[in-house]
Amino acid sequence: MKKVLPRPTIFTAFFATLVLFMSPDFLQAQEGDPAAGKALFNAQCAACHRLDQRLVGPPLRGVSEKYDRSWIYNWVRNSAGLIASGDAQAIAIYEEYNKVPMTAFPLLSDADIDNILAYIDAPPAQPKAVEATPVVAPPAESGGNVNQIVIAALVLVLLVLVVMLILVRNILTRIAAANGIEVPVTQSKPIWKAFAENQFLILVTVIFSLLGSAYFAYGYFMQVGVDQGYQPVQPIHYSHKIHAGANQIDCKYCHSSARTSKHSGIPSLNVCMNCHKNIQEYNGETTPEYSKAFYDGEIQKLYKAVGWDPDLQQYTGETQPVEWVRIHNLPDFAYFNHSQHVTVGGVACETCHGPVQEMEIMYQYSPLTMGWCINCHRTTNVNVKDNEYYNKIHDALSQKYGVEEFTVSQMGGLECGKCHY
C-alpha cells in the first residue's frame, strides 16, 4: 500500500523547501557571486571585453538575457567548436567581429561563469565624488623673507639715526644752558623745509635710497627667466594625479628617453594608446571641477588626435597634431643631462619635479636656477654603491679626501665646464 504523508508533514516539507529556495545563500548559488565574478572578469575577460563598450569583443552587459545560459557555457569553453558545428548565433558573432575567434576557457566551471555573469549583470557603480582640492603651487624661494628682513633692518637703522639726532640735540641744548649760553629760539619751520636745509639728512636719505633701489633692482632682474610655479593649460588635460598617483604608473614608462637621453622627451600618443585602446572611460573619483564627463571628453580628444574609432576598434588615418606647452625649460647656455642624473646618479624624478603624483595639473615645482643646482651638488652624496660607473673614481677620491662618501662638488660638479660649454 502506498504510504501517504500526513498533511502537516506535507506542509512542513513544502515550507522548508520554500525557505531553502528563498534563502540568500541558495539565490547566490544560483545567480553567482558578483565579487568573485569581478576578479574572474578582470583576470580572464578584461583584455578583450568591456561591460558597455565594444572592444576586441562585444560589450558584455545583458548577455545573460540575450543568450541561453547553457549556450554561454559552451561558447566560453569552446567558441571554435560552436562555430564549426554551424551554430547560427556563434557564426553571427564570429562574422561581426572580423572573424577573430574567442579564446577558449575550458577550465572555467559553470559556477565560475555564473559568477562572471552576476558581475556583468550588476548595476554599474557610480564614481565616488569628492570635494575639489585646489592645486597649490609651491612656495617661492626664501627670497621673499630675505626682502622683508632687509627692509625691516633699513627702517630700524633709520629710526636709530633719528633718535640719535634728537638725543644729540637735547644734550647740546643742556650743555649750552649750563654754560650760560642762551640758545636762540627760532621759529619752527615746515618739516620739508627743515629737511631740505639739513645736508646730513639729505645725504643719509640719498644713500639709503640708492642702496634700496639697487637691492630691489637686483632682486627683480634675478627673477628674469625663473618660472617656478608656471602652470600652463594643455590642449589635452593630462592628470599626473590619476596616472602617476592613483594608478602608480612609473614616470619612465611615459618619459622613457630620460634613461638614455639628455631630454626626458614628450611621450608619443602611441604610448597613451597602449592603455587607452582598452580604457575608454574614466571610472575613478571625481570632483565638482573635474567630473566623469570631463575626463571622458579628454579621452575622446586623444582618440581624435590619433585617429582612433573606438566603435570599430581601428585607426581611421585622420590624425591631428597636439601642441603641448612646454613647462620646464633651461637656458640654451645651460647643459643638463637626464640620463646622467636618472640612470647614473639614481636621482628620483620627485627630487626636481616635486610631488608629481599629487598634481592634477602639472607645474614647475623647482626654481631651476644656477644657485639651486649648485646647492644640490654641494649637499648631495654620490650614490656609489653597486654603481660600476663610479668604481675607479670612488677609490681615487676616497684616498684624496679621506672619506668613504663624497659629494658631487668634490667630484668636480662645480666646475664651470660641467654645465656651461
Domain boundaries, the chain: 32-121, 143-222, 240-419
Q: Which three cell numbers stand for residue 391?
A: 668604481
Residue 182 has pLDDT above 60, yes or no: yes
* Rounded Cα–Cα distance for residues 50 and 66 (Å): 16
Percent of the chain with pLDDT over 70: 86
> What is the mean pLDDT of the segment spanning 379-383?
85
Place of cell 567548436: 81
At residue 328, the 3 state secondary structure works out as coil
* Rounded Cα–Cα distance for residues 318 and 303 (Å): 10
* pLDDT of amino acid 410: 83
Phi, psi angles (nearest 5°) of residue 309: -100, 105
CATH code: domain 32-121 is: 1.10.760.10
Nearest by Cα to 93 from 106, 110, 107, 80? 80
What are the distances in angstroms from CA 386 to CA 8, 320, 350, 390?
83, 46, 22, 9
Q: Which three cell numbers stand for residue 85?
A: 558545428
Q: What pLDDT digit, counting tens, does each position of 65-121 carry? A: 888 888 888 888 888 888 888 888 888 888 888 777 788 888 888 888 888 888 888
* Rounded Cα–Cα distance for residues 68 and 284 (Å): 34
More confident residue, 202 or 133: 202
Place of cell 630675505: 146
Question: Of 110-119, 166-175, 223-232, 390-399, where does mean pLDDT reach its minimum?
Answer: 390-399
- End-to-end alpha-carbon separation of the chain, Å? 112
> What is the mean pLDDT of the segment spanning 258-262?
93
User: Considering the chain, what is the average pLDDT of its residues?
Assistant: 83
Q: Residue type at 113?
A: I
Q: What pLDDT digit, counting tens, does each position of 210-247 carry? A: 999 999 999 888 888 899 999 999 999 999 999 999 99
User: Which run of H or E residues covers position 308?
Assistant: strand 308-309
Phi, psi angles (nearest 5°) of residue 407: -90, 170
* pLDDT of amino acid 302: 97
* Rounded Cα–Cα distance for residues 361 and 148 (Å): 31
* pLDDT of amino acid 186: 63
| β-bridge partners, 315 | 308
| β-bridge partners, 407 | 381
